[in-house]
Chain A
Amino acid sequence: DQQVKQNSPSLSVQEGRISILNCDYTNSMFDYFLWYKKYPAEGPTFLISISSIKDKNEDGRFTVFLNKSAKHLSLHIVPSQPGDSAVYFCAASAETGANNLFFGTGTRLTVIP
């Protein structure tokens, strides 16, 4: 039972354009959402997060949007750079005290120079 879903396994974007990665979740108890970036043969690296009390969080070129009613979040990267090419994982957790993250299956982003 996958509670966090990323329905696009891959995305290709031209350098300089916007990349939009999407994520849906089913558990209404989730109140903290994160995006991780992963290069081959490395572990996931934390990118940006948002709590359920907000609908937008921005950090440089990265912005995460949260739509609680739709149980949907997205990551916008503007402008996209070739170094952004990686697999992006969406993750979520609920205030259970365990801080356990539920991950999506990832979206492979390729930024074309």
Chain B
Amino acid sequence: DTAVSQTPKYLVTQMGNDKSIKCEQNLGHDTMYWYKQDSKKFLKIMFSYNNKELIINETVPNRFSPKSPDKAHLNLHINSLELGDSAVYFCASSPGLLNSPLHFGNGTRLTVT
């Protein structure tokens, strides 16, 4: 019973397509996140979402949009995919309290051709 699960694990698609990555957590956490790990292995925050409050990293293109149907889910939608979007995307969750560790999913490797 995985605490933070994301699907699919691998996603290969062509430029210009629209795709989604799903994330679910069964930890009862209040806050969920999306992180991107680029080719240089640098993990960077994209979004955090807590009680319908979305905090966006200003460097994230508006082609990326998180959608939260409920507290346990935060899906990532990407429109008009570009080659530079190729990366590993990690979903995470935390209790929402300050100074609490994040729990990560196993990542989705997105390859845009």
Chain A positions near chain B (C-beta within 8 angstroms): 2, 31-32, 34, 36, 41-46, 49, 51, 87, 89, 93, 95, 97-103, 105-106
Bound Cα distance A42, B107 (Å): 7
**Given known contacts A44-B104, A99-B48, A93 and B40 CB-to-CB distance under 8 angstroms:** no
User: 3 closest Cβ contacts across the A-B interface?
Assistant: A43-B104, A103-B43, A46-B101
Shortest C-beta distance, B34 to chain A (Å), equals 11
Shortest C-beta distance, A104 to chain B (Å), equals 9
Bound Cα distance A31, B102 (Å): 16
**Given known contacts A34-B101, A43-B107, A100 and B42 CB-to-CB distance under 8 angstroms:** no
Bound Cα distance A41, B105 (Å): 10
The listed residue with most B CB atoms (<10 A of its CB), out of A87, A95, A100, is: A100
- Say if the beta carbon of B75 comes within 8 Å of chain A: no
